[in-house]
Structure 1
């Protein structure tokens, strides 16, 4: 089957927004090539697998989305371009924006990205292992098997790593966890393997829900329930920890709801926040939560807070 590859070069700041536009347009898959991730991993001697050809001096992000070639595909591509350019109206920097299209075969996009995804240790004990890779675990390792498929979330992105570190440091056995915008399900699976009693993973994207469900089965974590929800709309009850690895605007919008869905002194882990939006997010979170810690990695931050 032939697919149309839509390749966009943009900024780290616009990465999440552009990826969302691709998914909403019906992309069959999205691959993100962030050179900063490769540089960061290349500095970790424990993981000796980075090809020097993969390292780019640019701070640009390349986002490739794949669409089945149908009658309306060309019209759809024009709308995608217009929506990305329209991000400027929301004061989002898209940089020296480039937009390219080309035809590819199934295997060209379904497997080529896998060379970027190898086992990686996060925090003290968590090891994210692609389902197709071999790995000899150390005694205390907690292994998370992952096949991201078409969904965002391999564990190499700064925002995901920061969330995993906070979960490892703060989750207590028996906790209930809500994972908002679960993507590939990585944070939900980590929560379960760290001892959470119940984990509820939600995402508005049908592909993410499907992929997260498959990864939950792959890891044999029966206490993780995955379903579709727009933020917290389909969640009931209260959690001990809510983790939201999404984007700044949605975090700001959902903070009050998150407060209502947490137990007294419950923990809120928020990430997916570009540094330029740090103050905006903190201003909102401070109304409902006590800020316990802020982590930074590259251009991204994560905030650890406790319900007042």
Structure 2
């Protein structure tokens, strides 16, 4: 039997402010990364990177081939553009490393383990085993090349908020949910496994929608969950729970449309917000339209649970 040829991979590691993580993750997957994950850097472990509690690292793995140099140049050019556009971009750092390993295409998966993200919700990668207790609700996710595994604070806080709302507000008999920027589908699928009857997830990334649909099938919720490759502004169906784990900038841009979609006394979960953006978010998602039901925080990340006032339009 012939010996398997070692595969050659390029590892890119980028240190960046937390608010740029989602943009970086999307760009790296679009550039061809076969695995992407991120973590928060502790100041004492930051090595050559700037020592700051709001600096995170994102690692991406690319197959080494004829496009390797072009990918590196594309990523560096993108980082340079971020440095020009965002004041926080000056802290961006890039490291690259060649890796030779016959199994590295699968090894990135070791970073995703089953985790309890709320009282009842366990998020489990499809390739990991887990023995649930009687109260556990297990959400299985194969991230493929999409973002959303429950590892990131903003995702965890959204899941906690979804569970809290659906399990506590018994006055709503039928949950109609909208997941904006669905990624892997983890948030919409979580809502469905908590008995939401009608879930729509949207994402402008075609690959993410394909992965989300596969994850819905894995979790046996594809009859009540519909993932669509379109802009959320094309959605006009009223919803009583809207989940938007985006960026502050996108949330502000979409505020009017999302508010229009949300029925009176419906809930909106907004996350992907860092502390420095909370003032603008609170001013725009104001008391005139919403009652602030709950605020969840984890490190520099903030998640708001809002309830639409009955007199709002």
Provide TM-score, normalisation by structure 2: 0.83
Structure 2 equivalent of residue 166 of structure 1? 161
Number of corresponding residues: 288
Moved more, 176-185 or 221-230: 221-230
Structure 2 residue corresponding to 1:23, chosen from 26, 29, 39: 29
Task: After TM superposition, give the deviation of residue 290 of structure 1 in Å.
Answer: 2.6
Task: State the 1:223 CA deviation.
Answer: 0.7
Q: Tell me how far apart the structure 2 counterparts of residues 121 and 285 of structure 1 sit (CA, whole Å).
A: 30
Q: In the aligned structure 2, how far is the partner of 1:147 from the partner of 1:107?
A: 22
Deviation per CA, 1:104-144: give whole Å up to 9, x if none: 46865532232222221122211112222222212221111
State the Cα distance separating 1:179 from its structure 2 match. Answer: 0.3
User: Which 5+ residue runs of structure 2 have no aligned equivalent?
Assistant: 1-6, 46-50, 167-171
1:148-188 Cα deviation digits (max 9, x unpaired): 22211111211111111111111255201000111111111
Using the alignment, how far apart are the partners of 1:68 and 1:238 within structure 2?
A: 44
TM superposition shift of 1:11: 2.6
Cα 1:80–1:174 change in 2 (3 A) is: same
Give yes or no for the alignment of 1:140 onto 2:140: no
Give the aligned partner of residue 244 of structure 2: 244
Q: TM-score if structure 1 supplies the norm length?
A: 0.84
Distance 1:236 1:104 in 2: 48
Distance 1:107 1:223, change over 3 A: farther
- The farther-off stretch of 3-12 and 115-124 is 3-12
Deviations 1:26-77 (A, max 9, x none): 44432223346xx9xxxxxxxxxxxxxxxxx974422223445565553343
Counterparts in 2 of 1:70-219, with a 5 A limit?
A: 73-94=68-89, 96-104=91-99, 109-171=104-166, 172-219=172-219
Q: For the Cα contact (< 8 Å) 2:291–2:306, is it kept in 1?
A: yes
Q: Does the 8 Å contact 2:202/2:230 carry over to 1?
A: yes
Distance in 2, matches of 1:249 and 1:278, equals 11
The corresponding residue for 1:307 is: 308
Residues 180 and 245 in structure 2, CA contact (< 8 A), matched pair in contact too: yes
Indicate the structure (1 or 2) with the bigger Cα radius of gyration: 2
Counterparts of 2:83 and 2:283, CA distance in 1: 23
- Please give the root-mean-square deviation of Cα atoms over the aligned residues, in Å: 2.5
Task: Tell me whether 89-98 or 157-166 shows the greater mean CA deviation.
Answer: 89-98
Q: Structure 1: give runs of 5+ residues left out of the alignment.
A: 40-56
**Is 1:63 equivalent to 2:63 in the alignment?**
no
Aligned equivalents of 2:204 and 2:70: distance in 1?
A: 24
Rounded to whole Å, the distance in 2 between the matches of 1:215 and 1:135 is 17
